[in-house]
Structure 1
């Protein structure tokens, strides 16, 4: 079964996220477990945690179908050791927050070399940070999101993600999230059945479906291979609705969170219903 939702607001407290997901008819959702544009935040209270878990029960949304997203400030590949450590500390704090909430998946952008070190060294930095984070936490799966390849961001090629995974010691704690806008920007096509099969066959060969732990379903304002991260509402961009119909009928991706980050949240309920209507 496909589990579909959106990246919903956690304004007023993380416990509001499940209720916001329910309002749009979602059975999966993403959220930030702290302010995504600040390094630090006050600890989660026992009340926050209890209300979050209670609201999951009320809405019937399972923890396995929540894809938390880490802070945009974090760069595990940072060329500066002190700033990389600052990112790692913040990343571990987010993992710990997920563990307290019972959230099983934490999505993150791999990192950027900032044109100060080689891409290879940046990938190595990311892998070393992940190994440290895994060794010092207990349960959350760390989910690498592919990027659009803007600037010095890495992770826009499947091979780069595969390299990171190969360097991670505990494969049970690592996963991948495919963002459709980012993938298209990186040159991976989904628009026809043949194109979709080629892209996902390459993904399976280079990385493996077994690591696919979530997807971000976004149309895009830019054409194939442009390497710009510009999301669009479903069917209003270059990917088109056929791309998402192909995804919704791929039996290899049942029971993972499929998350909208499209640009008009007022139509998320309509987009969720549209995605479900594609299932044959």
Structure 2
């Protein structure tokens, strides 16, 4: 079972070594910006490393939006970051499921996702596999509640699209972790990556605040059980820098051994 962490992008392989991580995730640019990635000096080292690489897309991306000033730049930014992820040999690019402005706009939001993948297919596909991640908050979110996730997959499931399951987001979003792997796979048919995070806030709080394995509101053994049931690589996006994340990685490894 491969376990890793989200790390600072400056020297990701050094960060991986500091944590003993099998895989790493990082941003190619400011996650809050509308910035296209530039070529990295360490691209060849990342491509040839034994450490698996995943890229997280900027938080700004929301291809579900009905606002053209958000949706169209979001689609372009997702394309450019998928291309940048390919240059560093990433196994996937993780993007949040997004949201719509009004509850009655969800159908259009799902269709906007479909149009994004249809456009990509016409262009030969995304340069890196896209993994949609469930989110913690928002009443009009496309991938918080799993009934909406099912509607999203009805729209895009015929395309090559993967899924990233975040345990904090699921718990804070109001989805029980006990049988979550079976419920997700019944919808998506797959789980490609686990974001193994505890939650600072309670069940169905709608708040996206990660915590370390043994410090949050989720029984950490539930997180272990999710990883084991999914059989997917997992990474922590938890606080405490190298020290805190190393402790979390070791906790998971010991219990998954």
Listed as ranges, the matches of 1:102-141 within 5 Å are 102-115=89-102, 118-136=105-123, 137-141=125-129
Cα offset for 1:56? 5.2
Aligned to 1:270: 247
Say if 1:21 and 1:135 are closer, same or farther in 2 by CA, change over 3 A: farther
* Structure 2, unpaired ranges of 5+: none
Structure 1 runs (4+) greater than 3 angstroms displaced:
none
Mapped contact 2:37–2:84 kept (Cα < 8 A)? no
Look up the match of 1:193: none
What residue is the counterpart of 2:34 in the other structure? 39
Q: Distance in 1 between matches of 2:16 and 2:143?
A: 29
Asked if 1 retains the 8 angstrom alpha-carbon contact of 2:136 and 2:168, the reply is yes
TM-score, normalising length from structure 1? 0.83
Map of 1:188-203 to 2, 5 A cutoff? 188-190=175-177, 196=178, 198-203=179-184
Contact 2:28 2:81 in 1 (8 A): yes
Distance 1:247 1:42 in 2: 33
**Whole-angstrom CA distance in 2 between matches of 1:176 and 1:170:** 14
Alignment partners' CA distance in 2, 1:151 and 1:116: 7
1:227 paired residue number: 206
Residues 88 and 133, structure 1, Cα contact 8 Å, conserved in 2: no
- 1 CA distance for matches of 2:46 and 2:235? 19
- Where does the alignment leave 5 or more consecutive residues of structure 1 unmatched? 191-195
Q: 2:45 matched to 1:54?
A: yes
5 Å-filtered alignment, 1:114-263, equals: 114-115=101-102, 118-136=105-123, 137-150=125-138, 152-168=140-156, 171=159, 173-190=160-177, 196=178, 198-208=179-189, 211-250=190-229, 252-254=230-232, 256=233, 258-263=234-239
Report deviation, 1:164.
2.6
What is the SS of the residue equivalent to 1:189? coil
* Maintained 8 Å contact 1:216/1:261: yes
The count of residues paired between Structure 1 and Structure 2 equals 255
